[in-house]
Amino acid sequence: MNFYVLNSNEKVMARDNAISRRTALKVTGAAAATALVAGCSDDDDNGDDDNGDDDTAEYEAEPDDEIIFFAESDGWEGESPDDIDGEVNPTLILEEGESYTIGWEEGDGSSHNIEIRDDGGSVVDGHQTDEVDEPDGDDQMLEFEATEDMVEYVCAPHDNAMIGTIEVE
């Protein structure tokens, strides 16, 4: 054990096995590399890259299109038309004043509904269905005329994952 004299009456003990700064940096670097390889980095998996670009599919709907999803608690998975098949929560680009149908025919058995909301999170003009928890949701279709108030389609019980953007032009 080493002693250091601060003044004639005081002694301070130094640790024999103190971790050097270099060793601490090596250990920290190894832990950070392990976390990164294990997928524990702070990337947010929402499809945004460093430029803020989003890889969410966009679909320019034609007037009178019927947009069908599979209702899955992890997101609205596109079924029809073919342009959205397999896409999760695609952005729907609609034309103001035109008519569209949106909804789901089949689900994962969880409780689902579909709503069209404005930028304040309120349902637009009563465009919502009742919640059902059957895998078969034949009546879960909304027919509507696109208005500039419409900004998203949502499943109320799963509004953190089953939410897609609507852009009305």
Q: Return the structure tokens found at 88.
A: 């999760």
58-168: CATH, from 3.40.50.150, 2.160.10.10, 2.60.40.420, 2.120.10.30: 2.60.40.420
Asked if 162 and 155 touch (Cβ cutoff 8 Å), the reply is yes
Quote the radius of gyration of the chain (alpha carbons, Å): 27
The backbone torsions φ and ψ at residue 30, rounded to the nearest 5 degrees and listed phi first, read -65, -40
pLDDT of residue 41: 42
Q: Is the pTM of this model over 0.85?
A: no
| Number of other CB atoms surrounding residue 9 within 10 Å | 6
Q: Quick check: 127 and 144 in contact, CB under 8 A?
A: yes
The string of pLDDT tens digits covering residues 96-120 is 999 999 999 888 989 999 999 999 9
